[in-house]
Amino acid sequence: MMWNFNKFSENTALQSDDGTQLTYRELEEETGRLATAIGERCLVFSMCSNTIGSVIGYTAFIQHRIVPVLLNAHLDPELLSGLLKTYCPAYLWMPDFMTEKYSDWQKIYTSKGYTLLKTDYEKVYPLYEELGLLLTTSGSTGSPKFVRQSYKNIEANTRQIAEYLELNQEERPITTLPMNYTYGLSIINSHLLVGARILLTDKTMMERGFWSFMKEQKATSFGGVPYTYEMLDKLRFFRMDLPDLKTMTQAGGKLIPELHKKFAEYAAEKGKNFVVMYGQCEATARMGYLPAKKAVEKCGSMGIAIPGGIFHLIDVNGETITEPHVTGELVYEGENVTLGYAECGEDLIKGDERKGILQTGDMAQFDEDGYYYIVGRRKRFLKIYGNRVNLDEVDRMIKGKFENLECASTGVDDHMYLFVTDEACADQVKEFVVAKTGLNQAAFQVIVIDSIPKNDSGKTLYRELEKYYK
Amino acid sequence: MTNKEKYVNAFTETFDITEEETKGLQYSGISAWDSVGHMSLVAALEDAFDIMMDTDDIIDFSSFEKGMEILSEKYDVEF
């Protein structure tokens, strides 16, 4: 079993923003009933939201070795239908209101606003015995590519996270990320391990209801992607009175150093913790973290490997880099490195293809003290007039220079396109980048668009910009 | 441009919708009006009316109609 719910039987496990709650004992009972209704190891599509019904489904499946594919409940119906045909799950666990579209399939069981539907696919794909969970690599797209996580992966990463964040049963994290997104899920996993109370809401930080729920329930922590922190900055978060808030974590991409500094200093001053972390779905969730007490001193760093994990850098020849401040590809080793990918039903029987080692595709450096800094991604660079230009670094430079400007740079060799959302800045941005790179201005073109396309975890979708220049 | 036109414009341009679609529009009522869209809308309105909105007003801004109420009561924008 992944979690021992009986150990905390009288603690509240889940508190919903609609006022309902569930103790650990009740969660144990709910998960038992749902698992009994299914009765065998099989594949289930679980349509996630930050609600009690959704968490009951997920925990029931993990505890009872039923394999869920976690998808956003708001996934486009056409994309969902494609995934269903590709993987032929035996069941669907979904919000009651979604079941109308699937009236051909039998309702087996319902609880807390969720319904279990039995599908009628004849095809059954065999499941590798250690396969525990399937997640998409990006939050909202309907790509059939899933990351295969084992029970050991989830158990290890959950334990590692609870350890380095020093979680205990007094915690009351509030949900700010989708449950089907690996970072959001890791918060649920690690807090259930320690008997904490999880505050469930689908409201966003742009809604009054979020903040009143947070204050009423005395939330002690939340997580956010870089965009979350940009929004909080614009919302003048630093002026809010949140005495119960103890910890803020950040992952899902590199926060610009200016904001990292701002939040780290705010936390230090107010006696709170600001923890920058690093991870990927391919490593279950987390690989690195910057201890809160180092947040100011090592600003801009994503920290060190989590307990039980190891980082190292390799150069283009695959040789290990031993000198500080040299860029190489980041490699991680640990029990949380996932099995591999699945792109079709036949892949679900595949075993461990990575053997505990993950080449992250991220380019990094470490300093004299062994703290790691992400400097880019392996494939996000252009050659301009023979010079290698890192696009992520260009984005960060622009954001650092032009406060509150939304931008994204991309392109093809010898032609860089700088997308911005504010026409007034267009000329200055170009001048700035030309000056910083020292390259001829003919290589750069600024394109003004309404908004920078992002996925629901706030990562820029550079692919969607291609239509403007290809 | 009247204030009402400027107000409608901020919505139609930020969310790429028609004037007709703005009526009764609520936060998260369309996919474009999510938290990211909300920040863009606020920025567009701040530009259009040369104002700086308070945190409370940004998070109370839950619909097309509610927004007009907030702008007229707190920021002296006459519609």
* Distance separating alpha carbons of residues B37 and B18, to the nearest angstrom: 16
Question: For residue A206, is it within any domain?
Answer: no
Phi and psi dihedrals of A366, rounded to 5? -125, 155
- List of domains in chain B: 3-74 (1.10.1200.10)
Say whether B59 and A207 touch across the interface (CB within 8 A): yes
**Can you give the pLDDT of all 470 residues of chain A as single tens digits?**
899 999 999 999 999 999 999 999 999 999 999 999 999 999 999 999 999 999 999 999 999 999 999 998 988 787 899 899 999 999 999 999 999 999 999 999 999 999 999 999 999 999 999 999 999 875 433 457 899 999 999 999 999 999 999 999 999 999 999 899 899 999 999 999 999 999 999 999 999 999 999 999 999 999 998 888 988 998 989 999 899 999 999 998 788 889 999 999 999 999 999 999 999 899 999 999 999 999 999 999 999 999 999 999 999 899 999 999 999 999 999 999 999 999 999 999 999 999 999 999 889 999 999 999 998 777 677 767 656 677 888 888 898 889 888 999 999 877 899 999 999 899 999 888 887 776 777 788 999 999 999 988 788 999 899 999 88
pTM over 0.90: no
| Radius of gyration in angstroms for the set of CA atoms belonging to chain B, rounded to a whole number | 11
Q: How close does chain B come to A72, measured CA to CA in Å?
A: 14
Question: For residue A6, is it within any domain?
Answer: no
Residue A258 corresponds to which amino acid? E
Chain A interface mutation, best of B9, B34, B54, B59, highest count of A Cβ atoms under 10 Å: B59
Chain B interface mutation, best of A141, A203, A206, highest count of B Cβ atoms under 10 Å: A206
Top-confidence residue, B30 or A371? A371
pLDDT digits (tens, 9 = 90+) for B45-75: 999 999 999 999 999 999 999 999 999 999 9
Q: Which bin fits A166, alpha (ψ -120 to 50), beta or left (φ > 0)?
A: left
Residue A385: the pLDDT is 67
> Are residues A272 and A246 in contact, defined by beta-carbon separation less than 8 angstroms?
yes
Residue A241 CB contacts under 8 Å (≥ 6 apart), including other chains: none
| Radius of gyration in angstroms for the set of CA atoms belonging to chain A, rounded to a whole number | 23
Residue A378: the pLDDT is 77
Which strands, in side-by-side order, build the sheet including A247-250? A221-224, A247-250, A273-279, A286-289, A304-305
Domain that holds residue A398: 380-468
Map residue A166 onto helix, strand or coil: coil
Residue A255: the pLDDT is 85
A455 touches B at CB < 8 Å: no
Q: What CATH number is associated with residue A445?
A: 3.30.300.30
Whats the size of chain A, residue-wise? 470
DSSP state of A366: E
* Distance separating alpha carbons of residues A46 and A93, to the nearest angstrom: 5
Q: Within 13 Å of residue A368, how many CA atoms lie on the same side as its CB?
A: 0
ipTM confidence: 0.91
Residues of B engaging A, defined by a Cβ cutoff of 8 Å: 13-14, 16, 27-28, 34-40, 42-43, 55, 58-60, 62
Chain A residue closest to B12 (CA)? Answer: A450
Chain B residue closest to A211 (CA)? Answer: B59
Question: For residue A423, is it within any domain?
Answer: yes
* Distance separating alpha carbons of residues A50 and A64, to the nearest angstrom: 21
Residue A383: the pLDDT is 66
Residue with structure tokens 């990211």? B36
Question: For residue A443, is it within any domain?
Answer: yes
Paired tokens of B5? 């036109």
Q: Domain count for chain A, please give it.
A: 1
Top-confidence residue, B15 or B69? B69
Chain A residue closest to B27 (CA)? Answer: A207
Question: For residue A132, is it within any domain?
Answer: no
Say whether A206 and B59 touch across the interface (CB within 8 A): yes
**Touching B: A residues 162-221, CB under 8 Å:** 204-208, 210-211
Question: For residue A395, is it within any domain?
Answer: yes
A424 touches B at CB < 8 Å: no
Residue A196: the pLDDT is 98
Taking CB atoms and an 8 Å cut-off, how many pairs form between chains A and B?
44
* Distance separating alpha carbons of residues B12 and B7, to the nearest angstrom: 9
Q: How close does chain A come to B20, measured CA to CA in Å?
A: 20
End-to-end CA distance of chain A: 51
Q: Within 13 Å of residue B46, how many CA atoms lie on the same side as its CB?
A: 13
Residue A290: the pLDDT is 98
Residue A267 CB contacts under 8 Å (≥ 6 apart), including other chains: A248, A273, A274, A292, A295
Say whether A207 and B58 touch across the interface (CB within 8 A): no
Residue B74: the pLDDT is 96
Question: For residue A154, is it within any domain?
Answer: no
Among A207, A211, A234, beta carbon nearest to B62: A207
Residue A139: the pLDDT is 40
> Are residues A182 and A281 in contact, defined by beta-carbon separation less than 8 angstroms?
yes
End-to-end CA distance of chain B: 12
Residue A354: the pLDDT is 97
Question: For residue A281, is it within any domain?
Answer: no
Tell me which residue of A427, A410, A424, A418 sits closest to A447, measured CA to CA. A418
The 3-state secondary structure of A191-231 reads HHHCCCCEEECCCCCCCHHHHHHHHHCCCCEEEECHHHHHH
